Amino acid sequence: MADYVLAIDQGTTSSRAIVFDHAGTIHSTGQMEHEQILPRAGWVEHDPVEIWRNVREVVGLALTRGNLTHRDIAAVGITNQRETTVVWEKSTGKPVHNAIVWQDTRTQKIVEELGGSEGAEKYKRKVGLPLATYFAGPKVKWILDNVDGAREKAEAGELLFGTTDSWVLWNMTGGPEGGVHVTDVTNASRTMLMNIDSLTWNEEIAADMGIPMSMLPEIRSSSEVYGKGREGGMVPGVPIAGILGDQQAATFGQAAFEVGAAKNTYGTGNFLLLNTGTELVHSENGLLTTVGYKIGDQPQVYCLEGSIAVTGSLVQWLRDNLGIIKSAPEIEKLAETVDDNGGAYFVPAFSGLFAPYWRADARGALVGLTRYVNKGHIARAVLEATAYQSREVVDAMNADSGVDLTELKVDGGMVANEALMQFQADILGVDVVRPKVTETTALGAAYAAGIAVGFWNGEQDVVDNWGEDKRWTPSMDEAERERLYRNWKKAVTKTFDWVD
């Protein structure tokens, strides 16, 4: 068998390809950013054609840099930004509109109308999710309502919907010439259209949203052969054998297989997932119920998820919109020029607030300002915002599960930031643990694909390959921790009711 597995990570800001060896270590990578299209306040779009072009490019890069050809690849796994919605024409492969990104809030009215007198909880017992702008179903409805002729074409069976996993898979397996139209259970669990217990599409909800069933991809497990790379493509004949939404992939790559195991990924947003096993837990505290993974015919494993819309992207905003720093890593140095936040708190409710509040009406606020506050304090407030938001989600998880988290596994870009990780441990009051391979998202997708083709034997291989790199232990005293957190909570209340 070939010696490597390739993972494609189609993320919010970039697409990456990473080749892993049997020990789960990185052999080679390729990465390209794509344009963030911001047509109006609250709207965020991507060009699916650019995304597909970049995916092909980064796979080529990873293979060339690793001195490999497709013959060295045993299987391909796909992981992706979840909820981001693409609708395209079956016969041509042309998207009918830009992809509407998970952060986009344009569906607020649709969501309110769908909820009617029952409000945000209307479908929660069925799909595990509150009605919110975050999820894919209402975004499909927006496209069908607003793109000329789209509804007629959809009803005639001419349009397909997919999150970006489906978009990439369909194109990789042949596009208009026999492309496979499939998604996995984890991505389907983010649409608001899948029954969270039976893992089948809910026809009633699809009808409420006016979405023809013919548009929807087939729901499959996270680890099985969906199809093969098309002839003439970048990986001809190679089985594409794993799909996991990026946060579920990171949970898998972190070997969080035990009930009660949790991980927090620090990306554009933060996403904390807690494994609840084969038991479906409905949150009473603002968390989502989501599918964690399903390996072939084995029963699905569920997670509770705390989704935070804006964490790393606040650092990008400081760089791109304010120009206070030139590169994202500079924020750590700037934050180190001061000893504390100087009383400033930055609540980045740019897409409303997700967990545990689910307030579409919230907008960002920088509060506690005095003339004393300088850019160092603001840099600190920006970093601290990530830690406070994560604490809110951990509190909700502890309340839902009745058991307090004892340590938190972390991954993603921001975990290179030592000051943030120490502050995170301080604000949580539990150890924060970083693994040796922090590219757990791509790794998880690689494992799902590799397991399907027998490259790895199963979860035990993932556990055996996982290694601890560094651990941060809380050093802040309890009174200070609670004082800071109390102030944060007060700051959050200042962000409500900002939408007319």
Residues of this chain that bind ligand G3P (CB under 6 A) = 11-12, 81-83, 102, 245-247, 267-269, 307
C-alpha distances in angstroms, 71 versus 52, 229, 231, 281? 22, 12, 13, 43
User: Which lies closer to ligand G3P via its Cβ, residue 79 or residue 341?
Assistant: 79
Shortest Å distance, C-beta 350 to ligand G3P: 13
User: Which lies closer to ligand G3P via its Cβ, residue 223 or residue 248?
Assistant: 248
Shortest Å distance, C-beta 183 to ligand G3P: 14
User: Which lies closer to ligand G3P via its Cβ, residue 246 or residue 461?
Assistant: 246
Shortest Å distance, C-beta 102 to ligand G3P: 4
Shortest Å distance, C-beta 300 to ligand G3P: 18
C-alpha distances in angstroms, 149 versus 137, 154, 158, 491? 19, 9, 11, 45
Shortest Å distance, C-beta 156 to ligand G3P: 31
Shortest Å distance, C-beta 34 to ligand G3P: 11
User: Which lies closer to ligand G3P via its Cβ, residue 12 or residue 29?
Assistant: 12
User: Which lies closer to ligand G3P via its Cβ, residue 245 or residue 348?
Assistant: 245
Structure-block tokens of residue 107? 């569906």
User: Which lies closer to ligand G3P via its Cβ, residue 4 or residue 102?
Assistant: 102
User: Which lies closer to ligand G3P via its Cβ, residue 4 or residue 271?
Assistant: 271
Residue 91, CA atoms < 13 Å, CB-side half-sphere: 5
Q: Which amino acid is at 68?
A: L
Nearest to 242 by CA among 8, 473, 466: 8
Structure-block tokens of residue 430? 């539990």
Shortest Å distance, C-beta 210 to ligand G3P: 24
Shortest Å distance, C-beta 305 to ligand G3P: 9
Question: CB within 8 A of 492, min separation 6: which ones?
Answer: 347, 353, 357
**Residue 375: burial class (beta carbons within 10 Å; 0-12, 13-18, 19+):** middle
User: Which lies closer to ligand G3P via its Cβ, residue 80 or residue 341?
Assistant: 80
Shortest Å distance, C-beta 35 to ligand G3P: 15
Q: How far is 292 from 460, CA to CA, in rounded Å?
A: 17
User: Which lies closer to ligand G3P via its Cβ, residue 174 or residue 245?
Assistant: 245
User: Which lies closer to ligand G3P via its Cβ, residue 68 or residue 78?
Assistant: 78
Shortest Å distance, C-beta 313 to ligand G3P: 8
